[in-house]
Chains A and B, each alone.
Chain A
Amino acid sequence: MGSSMTEQDLRNRISDVREGRLSRRAFVRQMAALGLSAPMAGTMLAHGGVAFADATLAYKPTKAGGGGVLKLLLWQAPTLLNPHFASGTKDQIASRIFFEPLAGWDKEGNLIAQLAAETPSRTNGGLSADGKEVTWKLKRNVRWHDGQPFTADDVVFTWQYAADPATAAYTTGSYANIKVEKIDDHTVKVVFKEPTPFWADPFVGAFGCILPKHHFGDYAGAKSRDAPANLKPVGTGPYKFLDFKPGDIITGERNADYHVPSQPFFDRIEVKGGGDAVSAARAVLQSGEYDYAWNLQVEDEILKRMETGGKGKISAVVSGDIEFIILNTTDPDVEVDGERSSIKTKHPTLSDPKVREAMNLLLDRDSIEKFIYGRGGLATASFVNEPKQFKSKTLKYEFSVDKANKILDEAGYKRGQDGVREKDGKKLKYVFQTSINAPRQKTQAIIKQACQRAGIDLELKSVTAAVFFSSDVGNPDTYIKLYCDMEMYTTTQPQPDPEVFLNQSNSWQIANKENKWLGRNVARFSDPAADDAYKAAQKELDPAKRAELLIKVNDLFCRSNTILPLISRTRVVAAASSLMHDHSGWDVDTWNVAAWYRA
């Protein structure tokens, strides 16, 4: 495998680390994938002029407790505390305080053992050569909050629980096609049907929390929603459950038996819900009522002004989330077999690649980044942006009204009396929808103005977020229905790997009436070449070849101009100045809440 990386590549990567474009840990991980040990990779970096460093939050307190109350503010209130029913991040964040997975993802995309004794690798025998088996060694001496020991039985039970369709777990996709065997009390083996290069999905991160068999054992299957523990969690986490008022507040107290020595620092934890993003930022940065507020899609200018008070600071970490626009190539005004925007129809003008190419030139991404998102994201032309080894090197963006005009002129779209272009009686008039959120409405206004100068008329539409992002089949205004000419939203990348994320380009994932619009491909994109590359990548164990295949999928997806990537988003949070916290773009915010402390 070493041959797939040239010496020049290696030198480039070392200089990437030196200049901060690539993290040290990510470099070490890449080298490990090529068969080099971590100390050796570290040595290479040291030779390249990069000092040794530990990037995760260093834990300073020498004993547990004594930290007082930690107050978190989630402007969407949690409504349930079972991590396997948690469909929204708000519920995942709340349940992660009490439950833990075998391993979580840190902000640089490193897999960090939590309930596992170590993360599986080829060297420690955790990963089989054929890519079909993963063996997890569990941490010993871990106790549930009620004093019962944590064992392999709990892990096997969690798989049975989540895989059972009758349980109707949100996480079922990660467990349905695997087998889990107990080797001994502290070892389990996960068996995949096919070689699976991205194996760190079951029992890992947001979908991986382990449930206690002795509390949920009687409630697997159809009775799952009746379990008392759904609202009164008993986990292994750093805080023990005290009280929960759904939609309002959660309180917990320090778990004196926590399995990491001298953690956690705080005596109590409070998670308050409600409000909106701007008022949440204010409650941390200006009034200092709370220690931490999450998911702040707020114009950076506003955040900067709030920060000047000195009570708190903004922290942004990279993620794979992408704010993008879908150009609908199907017809949203024609109904076929009970659905609009069906792939059996063609959009009168947006099905023309020339029009889509012109639209891509009319997005002033640099201004959107500079004047709206700031630290909240980077302008991009690529759907996949993280981790860096999966980012396309060839996709570039440009803003040019002149070029767009030229393309449209050449394609035969003539300006009418009202200044709007048309061809064969079909006007370039589009409905452009998104959710209600100040940064998005500003972006819409910027795009509308550029389009106007190119003879394209946009009608802006904004839908309240609760409706736009719901999966309600009866509602015509949801983003999955795509009953408009173009729409804009952010899609989140759940893992530091783009494979699952890129299923949004699979032709078999196209959202339609039959799959209740739950198919992941909202853009209705379809290209056999992209499908083939994707299928090949799913089985490719060579990391370099696999990355190449996934980049090819991404490039075909983006070059079709069916989707127009805008901003590679970061996850932005506000925290009190004294709070040392550790949030990640690859896992839920509270993934490492045990290690938070006040300086």
Chain B
Amino acid sequence: MAPARVRVPASPMRQTWRRFARHRLAVASACLLAILMLGVILGPLLWRVRIDDIDFAATLQGPSAAHPFGTDDLGQDLLARMIYGGRISLAVGFAAMLVATLVGIVVGSVAGMSRRLVDPALMWVTDLFLSLPQLPLLLLIIYLFRDRLKALFGVEGGIFVMIVAVIGGLRWMPVARLVRAQFLSLREKEFVEAARALGASRWEQVVGHILPNALGPVIVASTIEVSAAIIAESTLSFLGLGFPPDIPTWGRILFDAKDHLDVAPHWALFAGAAIFLTVLSINFIGDGLRDALDPRRIG
């Protein structure tokens, strides 16, 4: 891998990018994800069909020029609905992932660096959260705060904030455990000892030396959270606790389509493919990032 001749070392950013670029699947996935995101962001400007125009003359139609993704059982245009729903699904997925990962990293690194009571205490909390039955808890939180959040952020905004908080707040535990385990082994490594001997503060040790080395597995774990969040959102919609039934998130479209799989497979296929491709590409990007951010890899 390492070039034979000596040359001027590139900047760390360039090195990272070079390592990432070598992972072809990751690059292709990044392109795909970019296309998906551009599509849902810019789509409404290019495709100006309303998402809720009912047309009984055109129900369950396959893809055509008038409806590139076909129509559902009320004759509503699926492309418009996919674009609208994609914004919500992707936003929910990424926001929930960020919340879960941030909380997980903070809890995990504090536990991993502490040498006294804080570590066991935080791990008890983590165990406690892991043992909580998630669905009943979700129902409770939603009943307690739904109306208040709705008043604060509006119908869709309130539910968005709530779902992100709930999914993020209930899925940080695996990340926290992973980070703690990495910290426990890394903090005793020679390079950290060297940094400590050179007078690095705890904060500098964590941010400059331990965390970058621990990030690889965390990134892979958190990419999985994106897909988990998209799926959790559709579970909630299914139970009537997520977005209103006429808001076509990808999970919702898939759920509505399931009874018509035999005659209108396009309905489920586009939404299913979108979820599948998003999750897959995020996973590959995670893979690529792990390779790229791993300082032990040379090149």
Do A and B belong to a common assembly?
yes
User: Hey, which bits of chain A sit against chain B, CB under 8 A?
Assistant: 278, 298-299, 301-302, 305, 367, 370-371, 436, 438, 441-442, 444-446, 448-449, 452, 459-464, 467, 476
Q: Please, could you name 23 A-B residue pairs with CB atoms under 8 Å apart, sorted by A?
A: A298-B259, A299-B259, A301-B73, A302-B260, A305-B262, A305-B263, A436-B239, A436-B240, A436-B245, A442-B74, A445-B52, A445-B74, A445-B246, A446-B54, A446-B74, A448-B52, A449-B52, A459-B244, A460-B246, A462-B240, A464-B239, A464-B240, A476-B143
* Interface pair A302/B143, CB less than 8 Å apart: no
* Interface pair A302/B240, CB less than 8 Å apart: no
The answer, among B56, B155, B244, B262, for a CB contact under 8 Å with A367, is B56
* Interface pair B52/A438, CB less than 8 Å apart: no
In which size bucket is the chain B interface?
20 to 34
Residue from A278, A301, A444 whose CB has the most chain B CB atoms within 10 Å: A301
Contacts of A436 in B (CB 8 A): 238-240, 245
Nearest A residue to B262 via CB reads: A305
Contacts of B262 in A (CB 8 A): 305
- Residues of B227-257 at the interface with A, using a CB-CB cut-off of 8 Å, are 238-240, 244-246, 256
Nearest B residue to A475 via CB reads: B143
Cα–Cα, bound, A389→B129 (Å): 62
The answer, among B56, B238, B240, B246, for a CB contact under 8 Å with A448, is B246
Besides A305-B263, A449-B52, 8 other A-B contacts (C-beta < 8 A): A436-B239, A441-B256, A444-B246, A446-B54, A449-B53, A452-B52, A459-B155, A462-B240
Cα–Cα, bound, A305→B246 (Å): 25
The answer, among A452, A461, A467, A476, for a CB contact under 8 Å with B244, is A461
Contacts of A476 in B (CB 8 A): 143
* Interface pair B245/A444, CB less than 8 Å apart: yes
Any A CB within 8 A of the CB of B205: no
- Given A460-B245, A461-B240; A438-B256 close (CB under 8 Å): yes
Nearest A residue to B263 via CB reads: A305
User: Hey, which bits of chain B sit against chain A, CB under 8 A?
Assistant: 52-54, 56, 59, 73-74, 143, 155, 238-240, 244-246, 256, 259-260, 262-263
Contacts of B239 in A (CB 8 A): 436, 464
Q: Give the distance to chain B from A344, nearest Cβ to Cβ, in Å.
A: 21
The answer, among A302, A441, A449, A467, for a CB contact under 8 Å with B245, is A441
* Interface pair A278/B52, CB less than 8 Å apart: no
Nearest A residue to B246 via CB reads: A460
Chain A binding surface SS class:
helix
Cα–Cα, bound, A133→B244 (Å): 54
Nearest A residue to B155 via CB reads: A459
Contacts of B238 in A (CB 8 A): 436
Q: Give the distance to chain A from B134, nearest Cβ to Cβ, in Å.
A: 16
Residue from B155, B240, B256 whose CB has the most chain A CB atoms within 10 Å: B240
Cα–Cα, bound, A370→B52 (Å): 19
Contacts of A448 in B (CB 8 A): 52, 246
**Closest A-B pairs by Cβ, 8 of them:** A462-B240, A460-B244, A462-B245, A463-B240, A441-B245, A460-B246, A464-B240, A278-B259
Contacts of B155 in A (CB 8 A): 459
Nearest B residue to A468 via CB reads: B240
Nearest B residue to A442 via CB reads: B74
- Given A462-B240, A463-B240, A464-B240; A438-B246 close (CB under 8 Å): no
Contacts of B59 in A (CB 8 A): 371
Cα–Cα, bound, A299→B263 (Å): 14
Nearest B residue to A433 via CB reads: B240
Contacts of B52 in A (CB 8 A): 445, 448-449, 452
Nearest B residue to A474 via CB reads: B143
Contacts of A438 in B (CB 8 A): 256, 259
Cα–Cα, bound, A371→B54 (Å): 12
Contacts of B246 in A (CB 8 A): 441, 444-445, 448, 460
Cα–Cα, bound, A363→B245 (Å): 19
Cα–Cα, bound, A459→B56 (Å): 22
Cα–Cα, bound, A186→B73 (Å): 58
Q: Give the distance to chain A from B248, nearest Cβ to Cβ, in Å.
A: 10
Contacts of B244 in A (CB 8 A): 459-462
* Interface pair A299/B143, CB less than 8 Å apart: no
Cα–Cα, bound, A561→B56 (Å): 28
Q: Give the distance to chain A from B53, nearest Cβ to Cβ, in Å.
A: 8
* Interface pair A442/B73, CB less than 8 Å apart: yes
Nearest B residue to A441 via CB reads: B245
Nearest A residue to B156 via CB reads: A459
Cα–Cα, bound, A302→B155 (Å): 32
The answer, among B56, B143, B263, for a CB contact under 8 Å with A371, is B56
Contacts of A299 in B (CB 8 A): 73, 259
Nearest B residue to A276 via CB reads: B259
Contacts of B56 in A (CB 8 A): 367, 370-371
Cα–Cα, bound, A301→B56 (Å): 13
Q: Give the distance to chain A from B239, nearest Cβ to Cβ, in Å.
A: 5
Residue from A438, A448, A452, A463 whose CB has the most chain B CB atoms within 10 Å: A438
Residue from B59, B74, B256 whose CB has the most chain A CB atoms within 10 Å: B74
Nearest A residue to B244 via CB reads: A460
Contacts of A367 in B (CB 8 A): 56
Contacts of A449 in B (CB 8 A): 52-54
Cα–Cα, bound, A29→B59 (Å): 45
Contacts of A461 in B (CB 8 A): 240, 244-245
Q: Give the distance to chain A from B71, nearest Cβ to Cβ, in Å.
A: 13
Contacts of A445 in B (CB 8 A): 52, 54, 74, 245-246
Cα–Cα, bound, A438→B143 (Å): 24
Cα–Cα, bound, A436→B59 (Å): 21
- Given A445-B52, A460-B244, A461-B244; A302-B74 close (CB under 8 Å): no
Cα–Cα, bound, A526→B263 (Å): 48
Nearest B residue to A463 via CB reads: B240
Q: Give the distance to chain B from A311, nearest Cβ to Cβ, in Å.
A: 15
Cα–Cα, bound, A445→B240 (Å): 15
Cα–Cα, bound, A462→B255 (Å): 14
The answer, among B53, B54, B259, for a CB contact under 8 Å with A302, is B259
Contacts of A371 in B (CB 8 A): 56, 59
Q: Give the distance to chain B from A478, nearest Cβ to Cβ, in Å.
A: 12
Q: Give the distance to chain B from A439, nearest Cβ to Cβ, in Å.
A: 10
Contacts of A462 in B (CB 8 A): 240, 244-245
Contacts of A298 in B (CB 8 A): 259
Cα–Cα, bound, A438→B245 (Å): 10
